[in-house]
Amino acid sequence: MTSHAFDTSAAGPTGAACPFMPVFGPPQVMFVRGAGTELWDAGGTRYLDFLCGLAVTSLGHSHPAITEAIATQAGRLLHVSNFFTNDAATAAAIELRDLLAEATGDQGQVFFCNSGAEANEAALKLARKFGGRGRHVVISAYGSFHGRTLAALAATGQPAKHEPFFPMPDGFRHVAYGDAAALEAALDPSVSAVIIETVQGEGGVVPADAEYLRALRRICDERGMLLIVDEVQTGFARTGRWFGFEHAGVRPDVVTMAKAMGNGFPVGAVWARTDVAAAFVPGDHGSTYSGTAIATAVVSAVIREMRRIDAPALAAAKGAMLRERLVALPGVRAVRGQGLLLAVELGDGADAKALYTELLARGLVTNAVTATAVRLAPPITVSEAEIDEAVAIIGTALAAGVGVAP
Protein backbone atom coordinates (compact mmCIF):
# COMPACT_ATOMS: atom_id res chain seq x y z
CA MET A 1 0.00 0.00 0.00
CA THR A 2 1.26 3.49 -0.77
CA SER A 3 1.43 6.30 1.75
CA HIS A 4 -1.81 7.73 0.35
CA ALA A 5 -5.06 7.04 2.17
CA PHE A 6 -6.84 5.98 -0.98
CA ASP A 7 -6.70 6.55 -4.67
CA THR A 8 -8.69 9.64 -5.52
CA SER A 9 -7.58 9.70 -9.14
CA ALA A 10 -10.52 7.66 -10.42
CA ALA A 11 -13.40 9.23 -8.53
CA GLY A 12 -11.86 12.60 -7.73
CA PRO A 13 -11.68 14.14 -4.27
CA THR A 14 -15.45 14.43 -3.98
CA GLY A 15 -16.21 11.06 -5.49
CA ALA A 16 -17.78 7.94 -4.02
CA ALA A 17 -14.35 6.36 -3.37
CA CYS A 18 -13.79 8.78 -0.50
CA PRO A 19 -15.59 7.96 2.78
CA PHE A 20 -15.20 11.52 4.15
CA MET A 21 -17.38 14.51 3.31
CA PRO A 22 -15.45 16.72 0.91
CA VAL A 23 -14.77 19.59 3.33
CA PHE A 24 -11.01 19.13 3.69
CA GLY A 25 -9.90 18.19 0.19
CA PRO A 26 -8.15 14.89 -0.47
CA PRO A 27 -6.02 13.68 2.48
CA GLN A 28 -2.31 13.87 1.65
CA VAL A 29 -1.02 11.05 3.85
CA MET A 30 -2.51 8.32 6.02
CA PHE A 31 -0.59 8.21 9.30
CA VAL A 32 -0.64 5.13 11.47
CA ARG A 33 1.70 5.90 14.38
CA GLY A 34 3.38 8.76 16.22
CA ALA A 35 5.99 9.13 18.97
CA GLY A 36 7.31 12.47 20.16
CA THR A 37 8.02 14.63 17.08
CA GLU A 38 7.91 11.63 14.72
CA LEU A 39 5.08 10.20 12.62
CA TRP A 40 4.95 7.13 10.39
CA ASP A 41 2.64 6.55 7.45
CA ALA A 42 1.05 3.30 6.30
CA GLY A 43 4.06 2.55 4.09
CA GLY A 44 6.52 2.88 7.00
CA THR A 45 7.90 6.27 5.93
CA ARG A 46 9.03 8.48 8.82
CA TYR A 47 8.08 12.16 9.07
CA LEU A 48 8.97 14.97 11.46
CA ASP A 49 5.79 16.63 12.70
CA PHE A 50 6.37 20.39 12.69
CA LEU A 51 2.64 21.16 12.70
CA CYS A 52 1.30 19.15 15.66
CA GLY A 53 -2.16 18.81 14.11
CA LEU A 54 -2.36 22.58 14.25
CA ALA A 55 -0.68 23.28 17.58
CA VAL A 56 -2.48 20.43 19.32
CA THR A 57 0.05 17.70 20.20
CA SER A 58 2.36 20.12 22.00
CA LEU A 59 3.80 17.42 24.25
CA GLY A 60 4.44 15.21 21.23
CA HIS A 61 2.71 12.07 20.03
CA SER A 62 2.01 9.12 22.35
CA HIS A 63 3.31 10.97 25.41
CA PRO A 64 3.48 8.37 28.22
CA ALA A 65 1.82 10.66 30.81
CA ILE A 66 -1.12 11.33 28.46
CA THR A 67 -1.46 7.69 27.39
CA GLU A 68 -1.41 6.67 31.05
CA ALA A 69 -4.07 9.25 32.01
CA ILE A 70 -6.36 8.06 29.20
CA ALA A 71 -5.82 4.35 29.91
CA THR A 72 -6.29 4.66 33.68
CA GLN A 73 -9.39 6.84 33.45
CA ALA A 74 -10.84 4.61 30.71
CA GLY A 75 -10.70 1.70 33.14
CA ARG A 76 -12.27 3.66 36.00
CA LEU A 77 -15.05 6.04 34.88
CA LEU A 78 -15.88 7.76 31.59
CA HIS A 79 -19.03 9.76 32.07
CA VAL A 80 -21.82 10.55 34.54
CA SER A 81 -23.74 13.63 33.20
CA ASN A 82 -23.86 17.11 34.67
CA PHE A 83 -26.55 16.31 37.23
CA PHE A 84 -23.42 15.13 39.07
CA THR A 85 -19.74 15.80 38.90
CA ASN A 86 -16.78 13.44 38.92
CA ASP A 87 -13.39 13.56 40.60
CA ALA A 88 -11.43 13.99 37.35
CA ALA A 89 -13.47 17.04 36.26
CA THR A 90 -13.27 18.64 39.67
CA ALA A 91 -9.50 18.17 39.87
CA ALA A 92 -9.01 19.51 36.33
CA ALA A 93 -11.25 22.54 36.94
CA ILE A 94 -9.17 23.46 39.98
CA GLU A 95 -5.88 22.96 38.11
CA LEU A 96 -7.11 25.02 35.17
CA ARG A 97 -8.48 27.75 37.42
CA ASP A 98 -5.14 27.90 39.26
CA LEU A 99 -3.33 28.29 35.95
CA LEU A 100 -5.60 31.16 34.88
CA ALA A 101 -5.43 32.71 38.34
CA GLU A 102 -1.63 32.84 38.07
CA ALA A 103 -1.93 34.53 34.67
CA THR A 104 -4.78 36.95 35.41
CA GLY A 105 -4.82 37.52 39.18
CA ASP A 106 -8.48 36.49 39.34
CA GLN A 107 -9.61 33.08 40.50
CA GLY A 108 -12.51 32.78 38.06
CA GLN A 109 -14.56 29.78 37.01
CA VAL A 110 -14.40 27.34 34.10
CA PHE A 111 -16.80 25.53 31.78
CA PHE A 112 -15.51 22.46 29.92
CA CYS A 113 -16.52 21.63 26.36
CA ASN A 114 -15.09 19.62 23.48
CA SER A 115 -13.53 22.01 20.97
CA GLY A 116 -12.36 25.54 20.30
CA ALA A 117 -15.53 26.50 18.46
CA GLU A 118 -17.62 25.32 21.40
CA ALA A 119 -15.45 27.29 23.82
CA ASN A 120 -16.07 30.40 21.73
CA GLU A 121 -19.82 29.65 21.50
CA ALA A 122 -19.93 29.58 25.30
CA ALA A 123 -17.96 32.84 25.52
CA LEU A 124 -20.24 34.54 22.97
CA LYS A 125 -23.35 33.43 24.87
CA LEU A 126 -21.75 34.62 28.11
CA ALA A 127 -21.07 38.03 26.51
CA ARG A 128 -24.73 38.32 25.47
CA LYS A 129 -25.92 37.33 28.93
CA PHE A 130 -23.46 39.72 30.58
CA GLY A 131 -24.43 42.59 28.27
CA GLY A 132 -28.15 42.03 28.63
CA ARG A 133 -30.95 42.63 26.10
CA GLY A 134 -30.01 45.13 23.41
CA ARG A 135 -26.33 44.86 24.26
CA HIS A 136 -25.38 41.76 22.35
CA VAL A 137 -22.89 42.82 19.66
CA VAL A 138 -19.42 41.27 19.69
CA ILE A 139 -16.57 42.89 17.78
CA SER A 140 -13.74 40.84 16.28
CA ALA A 141 -10.89 41.41 13.88
CA TYR A 142 -10.57 40.85 10.17
CA GLY A 143 -8.28 37.91 9.55
CA SER A 144 -9.38 36.24 12.78
CA PHE A 145 -10.43 32.63 13.16
CA HIS A 146 -12.79 31.56 15.93
CA GLY A 147 -14.23 28.26 14.65
CA ARG A 148 -16.75 26.73 12.26
CA THR A 149 -20.05 26.64 14.13
CA LEU A 150 -22.42 29.40 13.01
CA ALA A 151 -21.78 31.92 15.79
CA ALA A 152 -18.04 31.23 15.91
CA LEU A 153 -18.01 31.55 12.12
CA ALA A 154 -19.90 34.85 12.36
CA ALA A 155 -17.22 36.10 14.77
CA THR A 156 -14.51 34.89 12.36
CA GLY A 157 -13.40 37.94 10.36
CA GLN A 158 -13.14 36.21 7.00
CA PRO A 159 -16.06 37.26 4.77
CA ALA A 160 -15.28 34.60 2.16
CA LYS A 161 -16.00 31.90 4.76
CA HIS A 162 -19.39 33.52 5.54
CA GLU A 163 -20.63 33.99 2.02
CA PRO A 164 -21.72 30.38 1.27
CA PHE A 165 -23.79 30.31 4.47
CA PHE A 166 -25.73 33.57 4.36
CA PRO A 167 -27.65 34.74 6.25
CA MET A 168 -25.19 34.75 9.15
CA PRO A 169 -26.36 35.17 12.77
CA ASP A 170 -26.46 38.87 13.56
CA GLY A 171 -24.69 40.75 16.30
CA PHE A 172 -21.15 40.56 14.90
CA ARG A 173 -18.93 43.38 13.64
CA HIS A 174 -15.40 43.24 12.26
CA VAL A 175 -12.61 45.79 12.37
CA ALA A 176 -8.99 45.91 11.20
CA TYR A 177 -6.62 43.85 13.38
CA GLY A 178 -4.10 45.97 15.22
CA ASP A 179 -6.06 49.23 14.82
CA ALA A 180 -7.51 50.35 18.17
CA ALA A 181 -8.94 53.55 16.64
CA ALA A 182 -10.94 51.49 14.12
CA LEU A 183 -12.33 49.46 16.99
CA GLU A 184 -13.31 52.58 18.92
CA ALA A 185 -15.05 53.96 15.83
CA ALA A 186 -17.16 50.78 15.56
CA LEU A 187 -18.50 51.03 19.12
CA ASP A 188 -22.01 51.93 20.15
CA PRO A 189 -24.10 51.00 23.21
CA SER A 190 -25.10 47.66 21.64
CA VAL A 191 -21.55 46.29 21.93
CA SER A 192 -20.93 43.91 24.83
CA ALA A 193 -17.53 42.42 24.06
CA VAL A 194 -14.40 42.24 21.95
CA ILE A 195 -12.97 38.83 21.00
CA ILE A 196 -9.34 38.77 19.88
CA GLU A 197 -6.44 36.41 19.20
CA THR A 198 -3.06 37.53 20.56
CA VAL A 199 -1.52 35.90 17.48
CA GLN A 200 -3.83 35.34 14.52
CA GLY A 201 -2.98 31.70 13.82
CA GLU A 202 -5.15 30.75 10.85
CA GLY A 203 -4.88 34.35 9.64
CA GLY A 204 -1.19 33.81 8.87
CA VAL A 205 0.59 33.73 12.26
CA VAL A 206 0.28 37.48 12.84
CA PRO A 207 1.09 38.63 16.38
CA ALA A 208 -0.73 41.65 17.80
CA ASP A 209 1.53 44.22 19.37
CA ALA A 210 1.38 44.66 23.10
CA GLU A 211 0.27 48.31 22.74
CA TYR A 212 -2.79 47.24 20.75
CA LEU A 213 -3.81 44.62 23.31
CA ARG A 214 -3.36 47.15 26.12
CA ALA A 215 -5.50 49.66 24.20
CA LEU A 216 -8.25 47.02 23.87
CA ARG A 217 -8.11 46.45 27.63
CA ARG A 218 -8.43 50.20 28.27
CA ILE A 219 -11.34 50.61 25.82
CA CYS A 220 -13.18 47.63 27.34
CA ASP A 221 -12.63 49.06 30.83
CA GLU A 222 -13.92 52.50 29.82
CA ARG A 223 -17.08 51.07 28.25
CA GLY A 224 -17.73 48.18 30.62
CA MET A 225 -17.23 45.69 27.79
CA LEU A 226 -15.70 42.23 28.10
CA LEU A 227 -12.29 41.46 26.66
CA ILE A 228 -12.45 37.85 25.42
CA VAL A 229 -9.10 36.39 24.40
CA ASP A 230 -9.25 33.38 22.10
CA GLU A 231 -6.26 31.29 23.23
CA VAL A 232 -7.36 28.15 21.39
CA GLN A 233 -4.17 28.13 19.29
CA THR A 234 -1.85 30.29 21.40
CA GLY A 235 -2.65 28.87 24.85
CA PHE A 236 -0.85 26.19 26.83
CA ALA A 237 2.71 27.43 26.42
CA ARG A 238 2.80 27.55 22.62
CA THR A 239 3.99 31.17 22.45
CA GLY A 240 6.55 30.95 25.25
CA ARG A 241 4.14 31.98 28.01
CA TRP A 242 1.24 29.94 29.34
CA PHE A 243 -1.11 32.28 27.49
CA GLY A 244 -0.47 34.78 24.72
CA PHE A 245 -2.01 37.69 26.63
CA GLU A 246 0.76 37.43 29.25
CA HIS A 247 3.29 38.84 26.76
CA ALA A 248 1.34 42.13 26.80
CA GLY A 249 0.63 42.09 30.53
CA VAL A 250 -3.10 42.30 29.74
CA ARG A 251 -5.73 40.60 31.91
CA PRO A 252 -8.71 39.34 29.92
CA ASP A 253 -12.21 38.88 31.37
CA VAL A 254 -12.82 35.68 29.43
CA VAL A 255 -10.34 33.17 27.95
CA THR A 256 -11.19 30.37 25.53
CA MET A 257 -8.98 27.29 25.15
CA ALA A 258 -8.82 23.92 23.37
CA LYS A 259 -6.20 22.37 21.04
CA ALA A 260 -3.04 21.73 23.14
CA MET A 261 -5.14 21.50 26.31
CA GLY A 262 -5.92 17.89 25.35
CA ASN A 263 -2.72 17.04 23.41
CA GLY A 264 -4.96 15.37 20.81
CA PHE A 265 -7.83 14.30 23.03
CA PRO A 266 -10.85 16.50 22.14
CA VAL A 267 -11.49 19.00 24.93
CA GLY A 268 -12.00 22.74 25.29
CA ALA A 269 -12.81 25.22 28.03
CA VAL A 270 -13.88 28.76 28.68
CA TRP A 271 -12.65 30.59 31.77
CA ALA A 272 -14.22 33.82 33.04
CA ARG A 273 -13.67 36.18 35.93
CA THR A 274 -15.96 35.08 38.77
CA ASP A 275 -18.24 38.15 38.52
CA VAL A 276 -18.55 37.66 34.74
CA ALA A 277 -19.25 33.91 35.06
CA ALA A 278 -22.06 34.87 37.45
CA ALA A 279 -24.04 36.17 34.45
CA PHE A 280 -24.80 32.52 33.67
CA VAL A 281 -27.53 30.81 35.72
CA PRO A 282 -28.52 27.13 35.67
CA GLY A 283 -30.06 26.28 32.30
CA ASP A 284 -28.22 28.99 30.33
CA HIS A 285 -25.64 26.70 28.83
CA GLY A 286 -24.51 23.09 28.83
CA SER A 287 -23.20 20.12 26.92
CA THR A 288 -23.63 16.39 27.50
CA TYR A 289 -19.86 16.03 27.35
CA SER A 290 -19.00 19.02 29.53
CA GLY A 291 -16.43 17.83 32.03
CA THR A 292 -16.50 14.21 30.99
CA ALA A 293 -14.07 12.26 33.17
CA ILE A 294 -11.74 11.01 30.47
CA ALA A 295 -11.24 14.40 28.80
CA THR A 296 -10.63 16.17 32.08
CA ALA A 297 -8.19 13.46 33.25
CA VAL A 298 -6.19 14.39 30.15
CA VAL A 299 -6.40 18.13 30.97
CA SER A 300 -4.89 17.52 34.41
CA ALA A 301 -2.16 15.34 32.91
CA VAL A 302 -1.30 18.01 30.31
CA ILE A 303 -1.14 20.81 32.90
CA ARG A 304 1.00 18.73 35.28
CA GLU A 305 3.40 17.61 32.58
CA MET A 306 3.68 21.14 31.14
CA ARG A 307 4.41 22.49 34.62
CA ARG A 308 6.95 19.72 35.25
CA ILE A 309 8.99 20.51 32.11
CA ASP A 310 8.35 24.29 32.36
CA ALA A 311 6.75 24.20 28.91
CA PRO A 312 6.56 28.00 28.48
CA ALA A 313 10.33 28.42 29.01
CA LEU A 314 11.01 25.45 26.75
CA ALA A 315 8.79 26.85 23.97
CA ALA A 316 10.54 30.22 24.24
CA ALA A 317 14.02 28.66 24.06
CA LYS A 318 13.24 26.20 21.26
CA GLY A 319 11.33 28.89 19.38
CA ALA A 320 14.31 31.25 19.52
CA MET A 321 16.58 28.44 18.30
CA LEU A 322 14.28 27.54 15.39
CA ARG A 323 13.73 31.16 14.40
CA GLU A 324 17.45 31.97 14.41
CA ARG A 325 18.19 29.07 12.06
CA LEU A 326 15.27 29.82 9.74
CA VAL A 327 16.09 33.51 9.19
CA ALA A 328 19.58 32.46 8.02
CA LEU A 329 18.16 30.39 5.12
CA PRO A 330 18.38 31.89 1.64
CA GLY A 331 14.86 32.48 0.24
CA VAL A 332 13.35 33.29 3.65
CA ARG A 333 12.14 36.91 3.69
CA ALA A 334 11.06 36.98 7.32
CA VAL A 335 10.06 34.75 10.21
CA ARG A 336 7.13 35.94 12.31
CA GLY A 337 5.25 34.63 15.31
CA GLN A 338 5.96 33.94 18.95
CA GLY A 339 7.64 31.04 20.70
CA LEU A 340 7.01 27.86 18.73
CA LEU A 341 4.17 29.31 16.64
CA LEU A 342 6.07 30.59 13.62
CA ALA A 343 5.52 31.41 9.96
CA VAL A 344 8.27 31.41 7.36
CA GLU A 345 7.42 34.25 4.96
CA LEU A 346 8.74 33.78 1.42
CA GLY A 347 7.54 37.12 0.02
CA ASP A 348 5.41 38.32 -2.90
CA GLY A 349 5.12 35.87 -5.76
CA ALA A 350 6.27 32.90 -3.68
CA ASP A 351 4.34 29.63 -3.60
CA ALA A 352 3.96 28.32 -0.05
CA LYS A 353 1.82 25.43 -1.27
CA ALA A 354 4.64 24.19 -3.49
CA LEU A 355 7.09 24.40 -0.60
CA TYR A 356 4.66 22.61 1.73
CA THR A 357 4.24 19.78 -0.82
CA GLU A 358 7.99 19.44 -1.29
CA LEU A 359 8.61 19.42 2.48
CA LEU A 360 5.98 16.71 2.95
CA ALA A 361 7.63 14.62 0.22
CA ARG A 362 10.93 15.07 2.09
CA GLY A 363 9.35 13.92 5.37
CA LEU A 364 8.55 17.22 7.09
CA VAL A 365 4.94 18.04 8.06
CA THR A 366 4.10 21.78 7.91
CA ASN A 367 1.20 23.83 6.55
CA ALA A 368 0.86 26.60 3.95
CA VAL A 369 -0.87 29.12 6.22
CA THR A 370 -1.06 31.82 3.50
CA ALA A 371 -0.20 31.82 -0.23
CA THR A 372 3.34 32.92 0.64
CA ALA A 373 4.02 31.60 4.16
CA VAL A 374 4.52 28.18 5.74
CA ARG A 375 3.50 27.64 9.38
CA LEU A 376 5.69 25.73 11.83
CA ALA A 377 4.37 24.56 15.22
CA PRO A 378 6.54 21.65 16.38
CA PRO A 379 6.06 20.00 19.76
CA ILE A 380 7.41 21.96 22.71
CA THR A 381 9.45 18.83 23.44
CA VAL A 382 11.22 19.02 20.04
CA SER A 383 14.95 18.31 20.29
CA GLU A 384 17.75 20.46 18.92
CA ALA A 385 18.67 17.61 16.56
CA GLU A 386 15.10 17.55 15.22
CA ILE A 387 15.17 21.32 14.73
CA ASP A 388 18.43 20.95 12.79
CA GLU A 389 16.96 18.15 10.69
CA ALA A 390 13.82 20.18 9.86
CA VAL A 391 15.80 23.32 9.02
CA ALA A 392 18.08 21.26 6.77
CA ILE A 393 15.05 19.89 4.89
CA ILE A 394 13.62 23.39 4.45
CA GLY A 395 17.04 24.72 3.42
CA THR A 396 17.45 21.98 0.79
CA ALA A 397 14.00 22.65 -0.69
CA LEU A 398 14.57 26.41 -0.80
CA ALA A 399 18.05 25.96 -2.30
CA ALA A 400 16.40 23.95 -5.08
CA GLY A 401 14.17 26.97 -5.68
CA VAL A 402 10.91 25.28 -4.58
CA GLY A 403 8.25 27.91 -3.84
CA VAL A 404 10.81 30.70 -3.74
CA ALA A 405 9.75 34.17 -4.97
CA PRO A 406 11.04 34.90 -8.47
Hey, how many other C-beta atoms are within 10 angstroms of the C-beta on 263?
A: 30
- Residue of 3, 58, 73, 115 interacting with ligand PLP (CB under 6 A): 115
Residue 202 near ligand PLP by CB under 6 A: yes
Residue 49 near ligand PLP by CB under 6 A: no
Among the listed residues 112, 259, 265, 280, the single catalytic one is: 259
| Residue 145 is a catalytic residue | yes
Q: Which of residues 212-231 bind ligand PLP (CB under 6 A)?
A: 230
Residue 298 near ligand PLP by CB under 6 A: no
**Residue length, the chain?**
406
Residue 386 near ligand PLP by CB under 6 A: no
Q: d(Cα 256, Cα 267) in Å, to the nearest integer?
A: 11
Question: Which is nearest to 369 in space by CA: 393, 350, 387?
Answer: 350
Taking the complex as a whole, the smallest distance from the CB of residue 233 to ligand PLP amounts, in Å, to 3
374, 210 in Cβ contact below 8 A? no
Interface segment toward ligand PLP; rule CB under 6 A; list 10-18, 114-122, 183-191, 283-291: 114-122
Q: d(Cα 32, Cα 322) in Å, to the nearest integer?
A: 27
Name the β-bridge partners of 337: 342
Q: d(Cα 16, Cα 18) in Å, to the nearest integer?
A: 5
Residue 117 near ligand PLP by CB under 6 A: yes
Taking the complex as a whole, the smallest distance from the CB of residue 147 to ligand PLP amounts, in Å, to 4
Q: d(Cα 240, Cα 157) in Å, to the nearest integer?
A: 26
| Radius of gyration, CA atoms only, the chain | 21
Nearer to ligand PLP by Cβ, of 3 and 256: the residue is 256
Cα 387–chain centre separation? 22
Q: d(Cα 373, Cα 279) in Å, to the nearest integer?
A: 42
Q: d(Cα 379, Cα 314) in Å, to the nearest integer?
A: 10
| Residue 259 is a catalytic residue | yes
80-100 burial: b if 16+ Cβ within 10 Å, else e: eeeeeebebbeebbebbbebb
Nearest residue relative to ligand PLP (C-beta):
116
Residue 31 CA: distances (Å) to CA of 22, 44, 365: 19, 9, 11
> Residue ranges of the alpha helices (H) in 239-341?
274-277, 293-308, 311-327
Q: Which of residues 140-199 bind ligand PLP (CB under 6 A)?
A: 145-147, 197
| Residue 230 is a catalytic residue | yes
Interface segment toward ligand PLP; rule CB under 6 A; list 62-70, 112-120, 210-218, 284-292: 112-120
Total residues interacting with ligand PLP, rule: CB under 6 A: 14
- Residue of 37, 140, 192, 233 interacting with ligand PLP (CB under 6 A): 233
Residue 338 near ligand PLP by CB under 6 A: no
Among the listed residues 230, 236, 265, 318, the single catalytic one is: 230
Residue 201 near ligand PLP by CB under 6 A: yes
Nearer to ligand PLP by Cβ, of 60 and 201: the residue is 201
Residue 239 near ligand PLP by CB under 6 A: no
Residue 258 near ligand PLP by CB under 6 A: yes
Residue 57 near ligand PLP by CB under 6 A: no
Question: Which is nearest to 366 in space by CA: 54, 5, 23, 22?
Answer: 54
Residues that bind ligand PLP (CB under 6 A): 115-117, 120, 145-147, 197, 201-202, 230, 232-233, 258
Supply the residues annotated as catalytic: 145, 230, 259
